[in-house]
Structure 1
């Protein structure tokens, strides 16, 4: 049977969806994910083969019958990694000219025809933009040590720092502090020190604290609100800097921690584009999202902020159908 395939693969899970040649749905498969940039080519090759072998077998499909496949994957951060990903699927029998491999954020650029931006704030963060000439630019997303500013990890880290300041008697955030204490079991600065040493480089537990910060902000905790506002400003900074690249006018500034003062002194940009927001923080945290929308209205008045109605998996399948039609 001739078919199309779309993949949405993150560090935790990998999803595959198939449609027939007439675009009727065949089905989907959920398996293990792979962070391609951190796990490397050999392990990535093994995991992707396992994922596709199981998915194809479930629906009795053969790779050589694939009319087009779009792989939206976490960790395709360079041309070399894109070529490695393509080679993995070529080895599995997919036709070379029928494979499209993109970063999972870059995928959303296909939602708009003209100039477009997309920024993701989930466990990590990143921004992509495509200008009128079709050139693609990237800002951020270089893991949670080098960047990922404004992400759930960043919010969680700032939240735990605030909790340490509360334990030290330096700030007042009773709502936030109670939530963090209950979630982590940390009650003293000594315990906080151990917690940080155990989890500082582990994205999941630190990123999970972002939900508690959002809840505390909704309940009126001023420190939590400030953390959310500051991290939203960092996401908008990714968008702003990508706009500068799209216009061929990079600012070459020292990386900023908080951008309110900077943006207050900048004239609005005339760039006309769609701005797609994705990721758990952008989509689920209303207060966070409203900060970005308000900044965009002031400084990017011709940019239309949107949230995709389809999942990344459905978008990947749609891109495969359209790109290889």
Structure 2
């Protein structure tokens, strides 16, 4: 849920009541905001008095390893506190919403680690980033479904009585199809297959070679495995979208298949929780987050996903958050 730069925050001053930290940890980047602990409930996202905002790299432990992920989290929190002219002793609460936190044991390890960094009277919350993404679209109310499609993908839902369900979010090896990584990996595979004569010719070949400044599809193999980080691969999504907009059949098939994968991910969660009611016609909020779902002009991925879901659940109410999770999570 990026798009931020360090220091990009409105003027505000930390008070004697201390501060709270909210961290949105993703596979592409990690964002931390520092907020006054005495802040009243905001009437709108624009009313939140952000003291400081800091940005760092990937903090998904499944992508970069636990040690590097924790280093990134500590770095971004320290940076936010420094920018707010305060320190760890002023922290009253920390909310970590991090991709890759998939099991209670993951939460417990993170809670023990974060507790070693800050005062003993501080409150700590650790969740998967999908929980925070849902809250970001509902101003803190955990009800409905969220679809994240960035470097990875996940659908996460919560009923009004607290039942939860998720689908996907298992990483590229186990199939985050429809994610940025999934789209780009299929495009790279299509280029190799076309080069081998095992697949149709595609303009993706020339477009990707130009983007990567390579001269032959043979070089793609070395480029891919030189640094197979998920975000690096996923960064090729705009090339795939551009090729599809120019009419390439292979690129269009990749995007259509990805749309269906994302829609099926949401449908699975909504059905499991019966968010749509017994007759599958009740209204429910669907929060959409992530770079794959954002603003393509001609090839509107999020629009196509919503069409697929709405055919099954006509009560789908799509929401695009105005603000990232850390403003709306209940500290």
Using the size of structure 2 for normalisation, the TM-score is 0.79
Matches within 5 A, 1:292-307: 292-307=305-320
> Runs of 5+ in structure 2 lacking a partner?
1-15, 41-48
**Which has the larger displacement, 286-295 or 13-22?**
13-22
Residue 22 of structure 1 aligns with which residue? 39
User: Among residues 94, 102, 116, which one is paired with 1:91 in the alignment?
Assistant: 116
**Which has the larger displacement, 91-100 or 157-166?**
91-100
Alpha-carbon separation, structure 1, partners of 2:279 and 2:235: 35
Residue 289 of structure 1 aligns with which residue? 302
Structure 2 counterpart SS, 1:143: coil
- The Cα shift of 1:178 comes to 1.9
Residue 134 of structure 1 aligns with which residue? 162
Alpha-carbon separation, structure 2, partners of 1:240 and 1:296: 7
> Runs of 5+ in structure 1 lacking a partner?
249-266
- The Cα shift of 1:154 comes to 0.9
- The Cα shift of 1:48 comes to 3.3
**Which has the larger displacement, 217-226 or 21-30?**
21-30
Alpha-carbon separation, structure 2, partners of 1:219 and 1:17: 40
Mapped contact 1:6–1:318 kept (Cα < 8 A): no
Mapped contact 2:205–2:217 kept (Cα < 8 A): no
User: Among residues 82, 86, 89, which one is paired with 1:61 in the alignment?
Assistant: 86
- The Cα shift of 1:14 comes to 3.0
Alpha-carbon separation, structure 2, partners of 1:46 and 1:190: 36
Let me know the Cα RMSD of the aligned residues. 2.8
Q: Does 1:235 align with 2:262?
A: yes
**Which has the larger displacement, 62-71 or 124-133?**
62-71
Change (3 A) 1:152 1:133: same
Structure 2 counterpart SS, 1:146: coil
Change (3 A) 1:13 1:230: closer
**Which has the larger displacement, 76-85 or 56-65?**
56-65
**Which has the larger displacement, 153-162 or 44-53?**
44-53
> For 1:128-170, what per-residue CA distance to the aligned partner results, in whole angstroms no more than 9, with x for missing partners?
0112321121111111111211111111111122223332444
User: Among residues 72, 84, 87, which one is paired with 2:97 in the alignment?
Assistant: 72
Residue 200 of structure 2 aligns with which residue? 171
Mapped contact 2:89–2:119 kept (Cα < 8 A): yes
Alpha-carbon separation, structure 2, partners of 1:5 and 1:117: 25
Alpha-carbon separation, structure 1, partners of 2:132 and 2:302: 21
Alpha-carbon separation, structure 2, partners of 1:215 and 1:13: 24
Q: Does 1:245 align with 2:272?
A: yes
Alpha-carbon separation, structure 1, partners of 2:66 and 2:186: 33
- The Cα shift of 1:172 comes to 3.7
Q: Does 1:318 align with 2:328?
A: yes
**Which has the larger displacement, 204-213 or 42-51?**
42-51
**Which has the larger displacement, 140-149 or 54-63?**
54-63
Alpha-carbon separation, structure 1, partners of 2:249 and 2:145: 31
Using the size of structure 1 for normalisation, the TM-score is 0.80
- The Cα shift of 1:40 comes to 5.1
* Alignment size in residue pairs: 298
Structure 1 counterpart SS, 2:173: helix
Alpha-carbon separation, structure 1, partners of 2:254 and 2:92: 47
Structure 2 counterpart SS, 1:144: coil
- Between Structure 1 and Structure 2, the one with more helix by share is 1
Q: Does 1:276 align with 2:287?
A: yes
Alpha-carbon separation, structure 2, partners of 1:192 and 1:227: 19
> For 1:32-78, what per-residue CA distance to the aligned partner results, in whole angstroms no more than 9, with x for missing partners?
54223455555544443343334323434244443433222122111
Residue 177 of structure 2 aligns with which residue? 149
